[in-house]
């Protein structure tokens, strides 16, 4: 049996899935934001009640703990050491009150241009000690090409720190500002996350669950609990990804498709290309701050079941304010759900209260109640459609860097639309726009299903300058000598082998065949007029996917 | 969070699968490290900076600027169409108000491509800036455009294309042609008989440094631009004036390029040459991007700056100061062309052009009508070592009825004569672009 829990902003969902019978238990409860742990324990107890917990083979947990800590600024005082070399003024990348800018420079080839100013590192460490700062982040420019200066900073901090995040360990990707922010937040949530995990383990033991625990990430994959203790920042924004993975498990998606998760306040829109979710190439943003946290592409707009209906300049609109619940559920202003109730598209709770609210809104205006309900629904649908079109335009106009992709690049044009979330079934009737609209079974707990069934994901990149005889895989700590003849084929094999070894060592459970090379380039480098080696780059990943499907 | 003071569009197209030849400076690797640097700086996350996918230029886009012999397909590859399309996309972004300014970081380059094209010269097949300018004039109500070419090599192609055009001011600052390819760009080259003073050349001595370039911008380029009052300023942003460039002898810097851009304030910049791909391009491009976006660039410095950059010799400073007067004179009091034909007649110019990359020799007889109502119909007979005689006829933007009629008469006559393998007709008045091949 597989157990999945998704702790969302409003609700916490849990499912228990039997490998043969499918979903055998599901449970939904309001999230107690002040006490996530008790919500989780309740969900765990309720969803497993009546079942033999010893038969649970895996537990996957998607939690908003890190996200909330960052959004609500419940962060530990963290020192950020950055060293940038030439470029944008590094003071732009300060976060918090303890950012220290250290002289030093590594160029885009990974050459050390200027050594680190160790005297100012030491001075900064002393300052931190005095202020009682105990968690650190060390980030230098181009550390993914050469991590030497990050390591030097970390070494110097040494025992002064309870935890140090080094930028190159988080991702192989280039982006100094994202690396600085990601490393900072990783350290800033490290303690609160780890004590939370300790509590979860205690809770699981109490219930008698002995299965390994994995944590959901924003890219729709999981990481082992022990790994997550070092990179808690990877657990942010896993909720929307869990829903997307849920749809994958519930539906047999093969074509270009649109996925809509219609909630109370917002609608999340995701696009699938040939049945696969798209990954945000650079990483997700949290509170408008770009990070290196890999994530599934997902855009949110402010329209949902609880969106308030309003009249602006004589036109009917809905959202983005949420004034939930709807009047049918005891609310005080009519919302999109009330409009759907009024039109008879759904029959949700007290429909007479919906009608009352819509009529009251219409009184004294040029609109009949029928018009208001009709226009509120069509307004919402138009907003969602426009957003879908915008996303598709962006995707199809995404820059590419080779002539081949420019000329032969595929366009995404959705053939199907999948709807989940509260008002999904209601809106499916009116959403259809010439393409097939589907509402999967059990869509109300798609998020928990996605959590339960999500596979592990991972990404790493190999970078080699054969002229210098060096090969690095930054985020898994590989640095090796290679010969001048080191080929792209050897690099690809090395990338796969090292990734596989690393994952096995770290407690991931994957098959080697799940590791795919997704980018692989070799540029011949010329100095003056002579070849000076090759610039080889190989990116491999374990794609997001589900362990099993629940559709027929 | 950093926010750009000016909204900047970046059309970045490195053409990672295209090279002139495996060890040629114009090869796949050229913009790789620039992309690394821009990514590492987080440029694409800056609010106000948008990365934009290039268009693909059409045959019509190219025929607006060039006579391609024997035809467009024979002298271009997809890479050229995308590079020119990148410039067009940058222009669209600015003209449509998506951004305040745009930088087309595209390759292959184009500024050595002349009006007639038989092949590749100076790494260029078609002229990205010229194609962009004609796209702008065809689709938007813009007439007066200035192109400032800051590539180290004389922009002889762009000069040739706008030689007879009084509405396009072309200013090229470059390493003196006596010391570098293509060998042209002297003070006396100042535009055709109908467009005197609309081509301005500023041949700078080898080892000109930051000081000399900024002096040239402040004391020569800006006063001329101020008088010309262009609606659009374009920068042909070659980066080979850098002190580390392997094929030139200048002494410019990344910081200098940024400062130059800040002063010039181009609406659109288009990348040209620049072959110090590790030591210069990442920093120069970053400098230009930040300057165009209105972001502080004072922290940009090449890794070897302290070791390898040296300030300008006094001798060079004096030499450049002496260029000021003749350069300004060329614009403000241009000497008339002694050979200029009377009204309604053609002025003939013989030209011999060598295509260094492809080893082609071309001879041209170029006729331009003297006209008081428009810039005059243009007629060129061209033969090259690889092509028998060809003809191109150009009825200019806002061409008068006499010149339009004359253009069609010349076209019909060239077709009837059957001496030419191909006759191209570019009619900007009626937006007709035709080719007659035998």
Say how many Å lie between the first and final Cα of chain B, rounded.
Answer: 62
* Per-residue model confidence (pLDDT) at position A44: 95
Mutate to test the interface with B, among A94, A179, A399 (most CBs of B within 10 A): A399
- Under 8 Å between Cβ of B9 and B53: no
Q: What is the mean pLDDT of chain A?
A: 93
Going by C-beta distance under 8 Å and a sequence separation of 6 or more, which residues neighbour residue B332? Answer: B197, B227
Mutate to test the interface with A, among B26, B36, B40 (most CBs of A within 10 A): B40
Q: What are phi and psi of B43, to 5 degrees?
A: -55, -40
Q: How far apart are CA B267 and CA B142, in angstroms?
A: 13
Helices A446-453 and A238-250: angle between axes, nearest 10 degrees: 90
Q: How far apart are CA A422 and CA A13, in angstroms?
A: 14
Least confident of A281-290, A419-428, B148-157, B359-368: A419-428
Q: How far apart are CA A182 and CA A196, in angstroms?
A: 20
Q: How far apart are CA A460 and CA A494, in angstroms?
A: 12
Mean pLDDT of A206-226: 96
Contact criterion met (CB < 8 Å) for B16 and A176: no
Q: In A, residues 176-205, which contact B (CB 8 Å cutoff)? A: 176-178
Gap from B194 CA to chain A (nearest CA, Å) = 40
Question: What is the band of A411 on the pLDDT scale with cuts at 50, 70, 90?
Answer: very high
Gap from A528 CA to chain B (nearest CA, Å) = 7
Using a CB–CB cutoff of 8 Å, tell me whether A158 touches chain B.
Answer: no
A105 CB neighbours in chain B (<8 A) are: 303
* Per-residue model confidence (pLDDT) at position A322: 78
Q: How far apart are CA A411 and CA A396, in angstroms?
A: 6
Q: In A, residues 70-129, which contact B (CB 8 Å cutoff)? A: 84-90, 92, 105, 107-109, 111, 113
Q: What are phi and psi of B109, to 5 degrees?
A: -80, 180
Gap from B306 CA to chain A (nearest CA, Å) = 11
DSSP strand pairing (B268-271 vs B232-237): parallel
Gap from B277 CA to chain A (nearest CA, Å) = 10
Contact criterion met (CB < 8 Å) for A523 and B28: yes
- Under 8 Å between Cβ of B170 and B199: yes
- Give the pLDDT confidence of B238-269 residue by residue, as tens digits: 999 999 999 999 999 999 999 999 999 999 99
Q: How far apart are CA B161 and CA B62, in angstroms?
A: 12
Please give the residue of chain B at the shortest CA–CA distance from A530.
B23
Q: How far apart are CA B370 and CA A357, in angstroms?
A: 79
Contact criterion met (CB < 8 Å) for B41 and A87: yes
Q: How far apart are CA B71 and CA B15, in angstroms?
A: 24
A282 CB neighbours in chain B (<8 A) are: 44-45
B17 CB neighbours in chain A (<8 A) are: 402-404
A404 CB neighbours in chain B (<8 A) are: 17
**DSSP letters spanning B252-274:** B-HHHHHHHHHHH--SEEEE---
Mean pLDDT of B333-353: 95
pTM of the model: 0.95
* Per-residue model confidence (pLDDT) at position A221: 96
Q: Is the model's pLDDT at B359 over the cut of 70?
A: yes
Contact criterion met (CB < 8 Å) for A174 and B33: no
Q: What is the mean pLDDT of chain B?
A: 96
Question: Out of B112, B153, B154, B255, which one is annotated catalytic?
Answer: B112
- Under 8 Å between Cβ of A484 and A467: yes
Q: What are phi and psi of A17, to 5 degrees?
A: -120, 130
Q: How far apart are CA B224 and CA B221, in angstroms?
A: 5
Using a CB–CB cutoff of 8 Å, tell me whether A287 touches chain B.
Answer: no
Q: Is the model's pLDDT at A33 over the cut of 70?
A: yes
B291 CB neighbours in chain A (<8 A) are: none
Q: How far apart are CA A238 and CA A231, in angstroms?
A: 14
For A451, A515, B83, the CA distances from A495, given in Å and listed in that order, are 28, 9, 34
In a 10 Å sphere around its CB, with 0-12 CB exposed, 13-18 middle and 19+ buried, how is residue B52 labelled? Answer: buried
Going by C-beta distance under 8 Å and a sequence separation of 6 or more, which residues neighbour residue B268? Answer: B87, B90, B91, B94, B101, B102, B103, B104, B132, B232, B233, B234, B235
Contact criterion met (CB < 8 Å) for A141 and B40: yes
Contact criterion met (CB < 8 Å) for A406 and B22: no
- Look up residue B212 and give its two tokens: 């000399």
B32 CB neighbours in chain A (<8 A) are: 523, 535
Please give the residue of chain A at the shortest CA–CA distance from B81.
A403
H helices within A4-106, ranges in order? 36-48, 65-71
Q: Is the model's pLDDT at A415 over the cut of 90?
A: yes
Q: In B, residues 242-271, which contact A (CB 8 Å cutoff)? A: 246
Q: How far apart are CA B85 and CA A521, in angstroms?
A: 25
CA–chain centroid gap for A387, Å, is 20
Helix (H, G, I), strand (E, B) or coil at B173: strand
Give yes or no: B24 in active site: no
| Triad A88, A92, A93: Cα angle to 5° | 100
- Give the pLDDT confidence of A293-310 residue by residue, as tens digits: 999 999 999 998 889 999
Altogether, the residues listed in chain B come to a count of 438
Contact criterion met (CB < 8 Å) for A86 and B296: no
Going by C-beta distance under 8 Å and a sequence separation of 6 or more, which residues neighbour residue A520? Answer: A488, A491, A492, A537, A538, A539
Contact criterion met (CB < 8 Å) for B36 and A86: no
Gap from A495 CA to chain B (nearest CA, Å) = 21
Q: How far apart are CA B12 and CA A350, in angstroms?
A: 56
* Per-residue model confidence (pLDDT) at position A530: 80
Contact criterion met (CB < 8 Å) for A531 and B27: no
Its ipTM equals 0.94
Q: How far apart are CA A309 and CA A319, in angstroms?
A: 7
H helices within A413-535, ranges in order? 424-431, 446-453, 488-505
Q: In B, residues 3-62, which contact A (CB 8 Å cutoff)? A: 12-18, 22-23, 27-29, 32-33, 35-37, 39-42, 44-45, 51-54, 56
| Triad B406, B412, B417: Cα angle to 5° | 125
Q: Is the model's pLDDT at B187 over the cut of 90?
A: yes
For A459, A463, A530, the CA distances from A537, given in Å and listed in that order, are 13, 5, 21
Look at residues A44, A11, A9, A37 and name the one whose alpha carbon lies nearest to residue A192: A37
Going by C-beta distance under 8 Å and a sequence separation of 6 or more, which residues neighbour residue A501? Answer: none
Gap from B18 CA to chain A (nearest CA, Å) = 8
Q: What is the dihedral of CA B235, B240, B242, B246, to 10 degrees?
A: 170
Please give the residue of chain B at the shortest CA–CA distance from A181.
B1
Helix (H, G, I), strand (E, B) or coil at A137: strand
- Give the pLDDT confidence of A232-254 residue by residue, as tens digits: 999 999 999 999 999 999 998 99
Q: How far apart are CA A402 and CA B18, in angstroms?
A: 8
* Per-residue model confidence (pLDDT) at position A323: 76
Q: Is the model's pLDDT at A314 over the cut of 90?
A: no
Mutate to test the interface with A, among B303, B304, B308, B309 (most CBs of A within 10 A): B303
Helices A369-396 and A424-431: angle between axes, nearest 10 degrees: 80
Question: What is the band of B147 on the pLDDT scale with cuts at 50, 70, 90?
Answer: very high
Q: Is the model's pLDDT at A529 over the cut of 80?
A: no
Gap from B275 CA to chain A (nearest CA, Å) = 10
For A81, A118, B136, the CA distances from A123, given in Å and listed in that order, are 12, 9, 57
Number of A–B residue contacts, CB under 8 Å: 115
* Per-residue model confidence (pLDDT) at position A552: 66
| Triad A92, A94, A100: Cα angle to 5° | 120
| Cα atoms found within 13 Å of the Cα of residue B370, Cβ hemisphere only | 14
* Per-residue model confidence (pLDDT) at position B124: 94
Q: How far apart are CA B291 and CA B264, in angstroms?
A: 10
């Amino acid at each position: 049996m597989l157990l999945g829990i998704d702790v969302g902003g409003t609700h916490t969902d849990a499912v228990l899935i039997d490998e043969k019978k499918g979903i055998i238990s599901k449970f939904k409860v309001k999230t107690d934001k002040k006490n996530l742990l008790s919500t989780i324990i309740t969900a765990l107890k309720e969803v497993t009640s009546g079942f033999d917990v010893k038969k649970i083979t895996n537990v996957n947990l998607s939690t908003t703990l890190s996200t909330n800590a960052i959004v609500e600024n419940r962060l530990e005082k963290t020192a950020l050491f950055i060293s940038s070399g030439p470029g944008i003024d590094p003071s732009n990348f300060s976060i918090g009150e303890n950012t220290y800018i250290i002289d030093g420079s590594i160029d885009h080839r990974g050459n050390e241009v200027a050594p680190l100013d160790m005297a100012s590192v030491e001075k900064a460490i002393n300052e931190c000690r005095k202020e009682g700062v105990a968690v650190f982040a060390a980030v230098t420019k181009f550390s993914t090409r050469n991590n030497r200066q990050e390591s030097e900073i970390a070494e110097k901090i040494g025992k002064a720190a309870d935890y140090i995040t080094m930028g190159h360990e988080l991702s192989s990707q280039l982006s100094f500002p994202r690396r600085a922010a990601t490393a900072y937040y990783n350290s800033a949530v490290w303690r609160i996350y780890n004590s939370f995990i300790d509590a979860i383990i205690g809770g699981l033991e109490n219930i008698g669950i002995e299965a390994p625990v994995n944590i959901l990430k924003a890219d729709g994959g999981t990481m082992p609990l022990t790994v997550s203790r070092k990179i808690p920042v990877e657990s942010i924004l896993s909720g929307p990804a869990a829903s997307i993975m849920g749809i994958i498990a519930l539906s047999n998606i093969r074509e270009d498709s649109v996925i809509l998760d219609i909630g109370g306040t917002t609608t999340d829109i995701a696009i699938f290309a040939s049945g696969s979710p798209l990954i945000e190439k650079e990483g997700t943003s949290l509170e408008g701050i770009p990070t290196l946290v890999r994530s599934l592409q997902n855009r949110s707009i402010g329209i949902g079941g609880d969106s308030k209906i309003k009249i602006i300049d004589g036109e009917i609109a809905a959202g983005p304010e949420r004034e939930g619940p709807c009047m049918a559920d005891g609310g005080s202003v009519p919302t999109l759900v009330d409009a759907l109730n009024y039109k008879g598209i759904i029959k949700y709770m007290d429909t007479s209260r919906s009608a009352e609210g819509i009529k009251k809104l219409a009184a004294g205006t040029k609109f009949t109640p029928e018009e208001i309900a009709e226009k509120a629904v069509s307004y919402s649908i138009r907003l969602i459609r426009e957003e879908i079109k915008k996303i598709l335009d962006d995707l199809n106009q995404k820059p590419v860097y080779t002539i081949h992709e420019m000329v032969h690049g595929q366009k995404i044009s959705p053939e199907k639309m999948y709807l989940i979330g509260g008002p999904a079934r209601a809106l499916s009737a009116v959403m259809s726009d010439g393409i097939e609209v589907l509402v999967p079974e059990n869509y109300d707990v798609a998020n928990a299903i996605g959590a339960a069934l999500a596979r592990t994901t991972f990404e790493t990149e190999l970078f080699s300058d054969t002229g210098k005889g060096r090969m690095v895989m930054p985020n898994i700590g590989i640095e090796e000598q290679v010969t001048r003849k080191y080929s792209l084929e050897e690099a690809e094999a090395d990338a796969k082998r090292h990734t596989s070894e690393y994952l096995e060592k770290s407690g991931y459970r994957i098959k080697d065949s799940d590791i795919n090379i997704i980018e692989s380039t070799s540029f011949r480098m010329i100095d003056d007029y002579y070849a000076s080696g090759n610039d080889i780059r190989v990116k491999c990943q374990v794609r997001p996917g589900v362990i099993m499907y629940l559709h027929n | 969070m950093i926010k750009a003071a000016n909204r900047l569009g970046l059309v970045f197209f490195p053409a990672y699968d295209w090279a002139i030849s495996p060890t040629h400076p114009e090869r796949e690797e050229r913009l790789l490290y620039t992309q690394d640097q821009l990514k590492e700086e987080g440029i694409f996350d800056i609010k106000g900076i948008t990365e934009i996918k290039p268009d693909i230029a059409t045959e019509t886009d190219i025929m607006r600027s060039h006579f391609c012999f024997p035809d467009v397909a024979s002298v271009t590859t997809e890479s050229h169409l995308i590079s020119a399309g990148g410039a067009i996309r940058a222009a669209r972004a600015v003209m449509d108000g998506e951004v305040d300014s745009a930088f087309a970081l595209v390759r292959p380059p184009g500024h050595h491509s002349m009006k007639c094209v038989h092949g590749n010269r100076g790494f260029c097949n078609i002229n990205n800036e010229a194609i962009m300018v004609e796209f702008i004039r065809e689709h938007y109500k813009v007439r007066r455009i200035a192109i400032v070419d800051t590539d180290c090599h004389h922009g002889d192609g762009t000069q040739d294309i706008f030689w007879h055009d009084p509405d396009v001011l072309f200013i090229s600052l470059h390493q003196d042609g006596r010391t570098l390819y293509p060998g042209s760009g002297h003070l006396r080259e100042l535009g055709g008989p109908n467009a005197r003073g609309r081509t301005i050349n500023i041949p700078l001595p080898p080892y000109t440094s930051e000081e000399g370039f900024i002096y040239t911008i402040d004391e020569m380029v800006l006063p001329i631009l101020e008088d010309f009052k262009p609606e659009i300023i374009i920068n042909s942003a070659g980066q080979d004036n850098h002190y580390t460039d392997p094929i030139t002898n200048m002494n410019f810097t990344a910081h200098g390029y940024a400062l130059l851009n800040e002063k010039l304030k181009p609406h659109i910049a288009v990348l040209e040459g620049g072959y110090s791909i590790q030591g210069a391009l990442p920093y120069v491009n970053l400098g230009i991007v930040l300057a165009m976006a209105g972001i502080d660039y004072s922290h940009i410095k090449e890794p070897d700056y302290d070791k390898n950059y040296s300030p300008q010799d006094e001798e060079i400073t004096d030499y450049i100061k002496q260029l000021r007067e003749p350069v300004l004179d060329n614009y403000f009091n241009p000497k008339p062309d002694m050979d200029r034909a009377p009204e309604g007649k053609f002025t003939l110019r013989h030209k011999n052009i060598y295509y260094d990359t492809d080893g082609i020799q071309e001879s041209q007889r170029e006729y331009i009508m003297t006209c008081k109502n428009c810039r005059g119909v243009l007629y060129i007979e061209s033969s090259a070592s690889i092509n028998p005689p060809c003809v191109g006829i150009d009825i200019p933007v806002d061409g008068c009825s006499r010149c339009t009629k004359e253009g069609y008469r010349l076209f019909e006559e060239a077709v009837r004569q059957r001496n030419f393998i191909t006759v191209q007709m570019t009619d900007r008045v009626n937006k007709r672009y035709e080719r007659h091949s035998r």
